[in-house]
Chain A
């Protein structure tokens, strides 16, 4: 658990970050809270000769709530999300999910930017962001560009962000209707055995829209458009729930690990999604 030697940088602004990235290319990595990257470096599974700490870069730590959107800087911590005065009023699912990430000590350091940018399929925020149809802003030498969360994840630790780009913020429209973030884990601090993020709207007892994303059940988060579609126009009766779960099963691809075999994970994914849908529906 001793990392190899590395150079440590703490630039004051994004221009400084980008120039270091340009200079060192693949040999450089940016770090926000460090809760994924530092253990990987200590295990010598990540080779990072140049480590660029974002902590002193200004303008990345704000939560802005606009009339129709929410803007969250990359350095906003999970704890900031839990504690923020107004955020839970407009997007309560963010707080519900953040409270299920790790433990308070980790939430004080772990950031939303690091959580979504790292591409770890175990992280909770990527699936949640897909559910909320969030847009990530990345900054590079040629300026900024926007990437939808639903297009961001390519494989485990592989994302649409280029090596010389930095994820700077997350933007989401105000979520509508009922919500739930349901997660099964072995213990506090564990990644999900299965987790489901759900936003759902209804009119007169009929589902108008449903957005569903699953966590740690593939090598990327899984936005299941088909599962949501199976619910629209229904009253979320048992047949509709079963159809949505069946559709979700078609989209996930879990692997066996110490949490259990594939059959178990599929089963639990169905149970968790059903519970998330029932809770979200009751809140819609």
Chain B
């Protein structure tokens, strides 16, 4: 047999790894044909919505639902008293705490769920909410975690014993009623000793403000209990549908096989949709009570004010170095504001996530990290907003400490980074705080970035600008923001990563159809990442069938293999590996079929793009399409019919993507308005599956980084009122505010991942936030600025200029 196309054309036809394949999802999204949870409409479906607390801290003395129940169309009003007999008035959190589903005698944050009104339509539910009369007795409000640790006001009476003693929490001893945990990593005394004896020590206190992932689609669900067959179907905005199924089973007592969880199309998650929320529990209960499907969908204010904030870390750092700039030690303490309940979404053993990646990309011999979690009267959450578990906080911390140290040393910050980078030959590198970095080539990436932007030229221009500014020729300063980040993604190895006891492996199941097309199902769920596009590309390269002939399906727990979902850039590192491994199982069987068909020994054929060929006789081959058909129509001795495989992949290690970013910014000192002139982003995510999708991810992550650095925050007043509950005040950048991004890359494959890929969706956010922030701060460095806190919105930038005396 002869081919009329070249090998190169056969490779192209697969649209496998490395190809900028157009997103298969976009046909439906661009035509408004997506199927989101609010598109789910069932016969007789009811709507539920919450009565929410206007107070941040109050005792509830009475709830009167009578008037609400009079509203035409209102069928039920659930309160904690109704849920208590079912044991559902509280629920476990992912962080080992428990959380009220509906206010049980008191409220701990503004917007907390107090009662759930179930009605025939949204309008009746909203009218009913207006008429539920709740009597509150206001209590002293604490919105500052340092005050919380010194206050007599106890936020969580349920966590104090009757004799006044403080029982241990899920992560060990607690030192105050409002204290949640102390968690540490590294070597305390040696670090303190190194710093105490160091010639150069830089210290800084910084606050990484509270913000919110704010996906365009808010959280929601539809619960439908079929009382005839006892099966519960739950559609929802779940980043981890299988974990939700298990959690629902554990807290409701419904057997897991009777629960089907479906994540339909999801309009962005960014960590906001990892946790379990009271809306899910109340919808399930309401469906059981009424026997009808019940839908709950957050509005924007509900989303911003109540479900899953991010960050809120008060960080204090000390970094020591030799006079030449070689870093010798790092000490970090964090006071973490977790709000009224500890509902952080982290692997169970990591109550501060992977904050212990805070030694960054640097060879720091000695380090110590200590984190204290604290309750306050703010919304619970603490999720990883477009990052792997607290990595944004860690990278912001070290990239600011580097800048602060550079100021102390009177050194160029780019050079300081260069002389402290972990060297290529040191990988795999075990960091002082415990992680084993799998691979990296930081110097190459850094040199490429600095050369591309003409770093020395930029510094010369900046120096001239300072001269001009002092001479009164301009009112604009120039800032050069640098950041070099190392991410830690792909949670993770089951030996140390689990959520509620569920190991953080992931999975892929493949079925090859007789005509040479395929369906693959995974334990992950895309929220916009383009899994249907990229996982098909992995498979195309692994099994030699065109990506266009492979359907990727996720999100239905009745059909997909068990997995822990999509967040923390884990899909490619974990499920992507499972996909490759399942593909290799397919290929192993295909090899046996090919050998049989070609009448040679198994070892006498080899895989070549889309076929198995006889070694040394490439004109003798069987295409994967032919092999697929043979699997279903030939009786092959010793082989079962069919061509299917499943893989559950437990990664041996995390993956460690890295990158080098540079931002050039002009700042109007009179108005505080920053203007981003240039943004260069070099990412190394190992093997690149789809360069176009990588570029899109980088653009999106950088835009969310810009948002956080330059204005996006969840702010409270002293009474615990959320001041940023709408998009008028919560900063979501538009196309107008976003600069042109230049993207670039190097490729350092992960040595332990089957295809060498590392994950990229969150890198630009992790690296971008310090880069934007450093640009602002660098502009003021010549005038004595050492550190100012984000967000750098107009007035805060103006304040920095004002305090430095730049307004005359």
Q: Which residues of A contact B (CB under 8 A)?
A: 1-2, 4-5, 44, 103, 184, 186-191, 193, 258-261, 263-264, 267-268, 271-272
Question: Inside 8 A of B728's CB, which chain A residues have their CB?
Answer: 190-191
User: Closest residue to B724 on the A side, CB-wise?
Assistant: A258
Partner of A187, one of B126, B301, B715, B731: B731
**Contact assessment for A267 and B670 in the assembled complex, using a CB-CB cutoff below 8 Å:** yes
Count the B residues whose beta carbon is within 8 Å of the partner chain — how many? 31
Q: Knowing that A184-B794, A186-B793 are A-B contacts, what are 19 other residue pairs whose CB atoms are under 8 Å apart, sorted by A's residue number?
A: A2-B123, A4-B126, A4-B127, A4-B130, A5-B123, A44-B130, A184-B673, A187-B711, A187-B731, A187-B736, A188-B734, A258-B724, A259-B794, A260-B795, A264-B795, A264-B798, A267-B807, A268-B671, A268-B672
The reply to whether B734 and A189 form a contact with Cβ atoms under 8 Å apart is: yes
CA distance A187 to B731 in the complex (A): 8
* B residues in contact with A190, CB < 8 Å: 728
A2 and B126 contact, Cβ closer than 8 Å, known pairs A186-B711, A190-B728, A268-B671: yes
User: For residues 293 through 311 of chain B, which have their beta carbon under 8 Å from a beta carbon of chain A?
Assistant: 299-301
| Chain A residues within an 8 Å CB radius of B300 | 1
CB distance from B211 to the nearest CB of A (A): 14
Within 8 Å CB of B461, what residues of A? none
Q: How far is the CA of A258 from the CA of B725 in the complex (A)?
A: 12
**A residues near B724, Cβ cutoff 8 Å:** 258
Question: Once the chains bind, are A193 and B794 in contact (CB under 8 Å)?
Answer: yes
Interface residue B70 (Cβ < 8 Å from any Cβ of A): no
Residue among A187, A258, A271 making CB contact with B671, cutoff 8 Å: A271
B733 at the binding interface (Cβ < 8 Å): yes
Min CB distance B618 to A, Å, is 59
Q: Does B723 contact A (CB under 8 A)?
A: yes
Complex contact A259–B126 (CB within 8 A): no
> Are B795 and A259 neighbours in the complex by a CB distance under 8 Å?
yes
CA distance A190 to B730 in the complex (A): 11
B799 at the interface (CB under 8 A from A): yes
Q: A1-B299, A268-B671 are in contact. Are A186 and B123 (CB under 8 A)?
A: no
* CB of A261 to closest CB in B, whole Å: 7
- Measured CB to CB, the closest approach of chain A to B720, in angstroms, equals 16
In the complex, the chain A residue whose C-beta lies closest to that of B301 is A1
Cα distance A25–B673 when bound, in Å? 46
B729 within 8 A of A: yes
Give the complex CA separation of A255 and B737 in angstroms: 26
Q: 1/0 per residue B22-43: CB within 8 Å of A?
A: 0000000000000000000000
Most buried by B among A2, A189, A271: A2
A261 with B795, Cβ < 8 A, contacts A2-B122, A2-B123 known: yes
Q: Which chain A residues border B734 with CB–CB below 8 Å?
A: 103, 187-189
Q: Is the CB of A260 within 8 A of B798?
A: yes
A271 to chain B, nearest CB (A): 5
Expressed in whole angstroms, the Cα–Cα distance for A220 and B123 within the complex equals 35
A and B contact pairs by CB, cutoff 8 A, 11 listed: A187-B731, A193-B794, A258-B724, A258-B729, A260-B798, A264-B799, A267-B670, A267-B802, A268-B670, A268-B671, A271-B671
Within 8 A of A (CB), among B722-744: 723-724, 728-729, 731, 733-734, 736-737
CB distance from A118 to the nearest CB of B (A): 16
Q: Which residues of chain B from 668 to 697 have any CB-CB distance to chain A below 8 Å in the complex?
A: 670-673
A260 CA to B796 CA in the complex, in Å? 8
Contacts of B723 in A (CB 8 A): 258
CB distance from B235 to the nearest CB of A (A): 21
Question: Please, how many angstroms separate the alpha-carbon atoms of A272 and B715 in the complex?
Answer: 27
Contacts of B301 in A (CB 8 A): 1
Residues in A with CB closer than 8 Å to B711 are: 186-187
Considering only CB atoms, which chain A residue lies closest to B723 in the complex? A258
B262 CB to nearest A CB, Å: 26
* Contact status B123-A267, CB under 8 Å: no
**Cβ-defined contact, B671 with A184, below 8 A:** yes
Contacts A1-B300, A2-B122 given: A187-B794 contact, CB under 8 Å? no
**Contacts known (A1-B301, A2-B126); A258 close to B715, Cβ less than 8 A:** yes
C-alpha spacing A261/B734, complex, angstroms = 25
Residue of A nearest to B736 (CB): A188
Across the A-B interface, the 9 shortest Cβ-Cβ residue pairs:
A260-B795, A2-B126, A1-B299, A264-B795, A188-B736, A271-B670, A258-B729, A188-B734, A264-B798
Q: Shortest beta-carbon distance, B510 to chain A, in Å?
A: 44
- Report how far A284 CA is from B798 CA in the complex, Å: 31
Residues of A within 8 A of B737 (CB): 187-188
Separation in Å of the A159 CB from the closest CB of chain B? 22
Which chain A residue lies CB-closest to B129?
Answer: A2
- Chain B positions within 8 Å of A187 at CB level: 711, 731, 733-734, 736-737
Inter-chain contact A260/B729, CB cutoff 8 Å? no
Contact assessment for B731 and A186 in the assembled complex, using a CB-CB cutoff below 8 Å: yes
Min C-beta distance of B721 to chain A, whole Å: 12
Q: Which chain A residues border B733 with CB–CB below 8 Å? A: 187
Contact with A along B96-129 (1 / 0, CB 8 A): 0000000000000000000000000011011100
Contacts of A188 in B (CB 8 A): 734, 736-737
Chain B neighbourhood of A4, CB < 8 A: 126-127, 130
**Shortest beta-carbon distance from A111 to chain B in Å:** 20
Closest to A122 in B: B728
In angstroms, Cα B304 to Cα A181, docked, is 34
CB distance from B588 to the nearest CB of A (A): 55
A260 to B123, CA, bound (A): 37
Look across to chain B and name the residue whose beta carbon is closest to the beta carbon of A256.
B795
Chain A proximity of B456: nearest CB distance (Å): 34
Query: How many angstroms from the CA of A44 to the CA of B299 in the assembled complex?
Result: 14
Q: How long is the Cα–Cα vector from A261 to B729 in the complex, in angstroms?
A: 15
Q: How far is the CA of A71 from the CA of B780 in the complex (A)?
A: 50
- Nearest residue (CB) in A for B47 is A2
How distant is B123 from chain A, measured CB to nearest CB, in Å? 6
- Closest Cβ of chain B: how far from A86's Cβ, in Å? 28
Chain A proximity of B424: nearest CB distance (Å): 42
Chain B residues with CB under 8 A of A261: 795
